[in-house]
Amino acid sequence: MNYEIKQIDKLRFIEEGEGEPLVLLHGLFGALSNFQYIIEHFRNSYKVVVPLLPLFELDLFHTTVGGLAKYVHKFLETKNYSNIHLMGNSLGGHVALIHVLKHPERIKSLILTGSSGLFENGMGDTYPKRGDYEYIKRKTELTFYDPATATKELVDEVYDMCNNRIKVIKIISLAKSAIRNNLGEELSQISKPTLLVWGNNDTITPPFVAQEFHKLIPNSELYFIDKCGHAPMMEVPGEFNKILEQFLTKLMHPAATVA
């Protein structure tokens, strides 16, 4: 599915549908394909927005989770959205957390899946020599419970990133920034309704990470999905979308949830 990429100044994004904004933040190796199932499912009832995070466009000093959070703030202010449902996967979840902590005023709810911010296993301490396709393929497959979810197209995207010296330097910068930026002591400040959806077989941000987020974020609810890794919205989109839809419907019609 191809979507029109819109642009305002240097801000590039996808915007499909009408309604309250459902803003999706991708991770370090994320792509638009990560959110295809969410876009298709929710575009008839929400304005589904995917800002293209400038992972490789910022100068090295600002290539941090904080730098990306500033970009997201500028984007949301420029678009003047309100009642935003802000969702992030992996590094995107970390960026969403920083944004909500600093700028909660436009946010209606927070959705995290496989989020960093407390603990994560990255690509490892060292990156492979450029050109090691099989290594990249194995690492990409580890993102999922079912290795077949790592399509050749997806592996090729990650391989191209890791085969570019400048991009590798920025990937490492972002990964180190995420590890340094532990939010454990701040999460209790988040008052927005928060949905946590986690793969039971996530090896990058394991289930105990989700349980810790649930313990630290006051108004949060947690769902685990079996036979699922680090990207539930890609690997088990039907179940993920059902959980997300129930959460959003409850916020839209709170009285309807009373037994």
This prediction has a pTM of 0.92
- Identify whether the C-beta of residue 5 lies closer than 8 Å to the C-beta of residue 13: yes
DSSP H/E element including 13: strand 11-16
Query: Average pLDDT, stretch 184-192?
Result: 96
**If 0-12 CB within 10 Å is exposed, 13-18 middle and 19+ buried, where does residue 160 land?**
exposed
List the domain range (segments joined by +) for residue 29.
6-253
Asked if residue 231 belongs to a domain, the reply is: yes
pLDDT, position 258: 45
pLDDT, position 83: 97
Asked if residue 207 belongs to a domain, the reply is: yes
Cα dihedral sign, 128-129-130-132? negative
Residue 185 pLDDT class (50, 70, 90 cuts): very high
The residue with greater pLDDT, 121 or 258, is: 121
Q: Which of 240, 235, 94 is nearest to 175 (CA)?
A: 94
Asked if residue 258 belongs to a domain, the reply is: no
CA distance 111 to 256: 21
The residues pairing with 221 across neighbouring beta strands, listed in sequence order, are: 195
Per-residue pLDDT reduced to its tens digit, 190-240: 999 999 999 999 999 999 999 999 999 999 999 999 999 999 999 999 999
pLDDT, position 114: 95
Mean pLDDT for all residues in the chain: 91
Residue 129 pLDDT class (50, 70, 90 cuts): low
Cα dihedral sign, 42-105-188-55? positive
Q: How far is CA 40 from CA 1, 51, 79, in A?
A: 9, 16, 22
pLDDT, position 171: 86
| Count of structural domains, the chain | 1
Q: Flag whether pLDDT at 259 surpasses 70.
A: no
pLDDT, position 123: 47
Query: Average pLDDT, stretch 173-196?
Result: 93
Residue 127 pLDDT class (50, 70, 90 cuts): low
Residue 50 pLDDT class (50, 70, 90 cuts): very high
Q: Flag whether pLDDT at 134 surpasses 50.
A: yes
Chain centroid to CA 97? 10
Q: Flag whether pLDDT at 125 surpasses 50.
A: no
Q: Which two tokens stand for residue 89?
A: 């996967």
Query: Average pLDDT, stretch 104-133?
Result: 79
Asked if residue 1 belongs to a domain, the reply is: no
- CATH code of the domain covering residue 72: 3.40.50.1820
pLDDT, position 144: 94
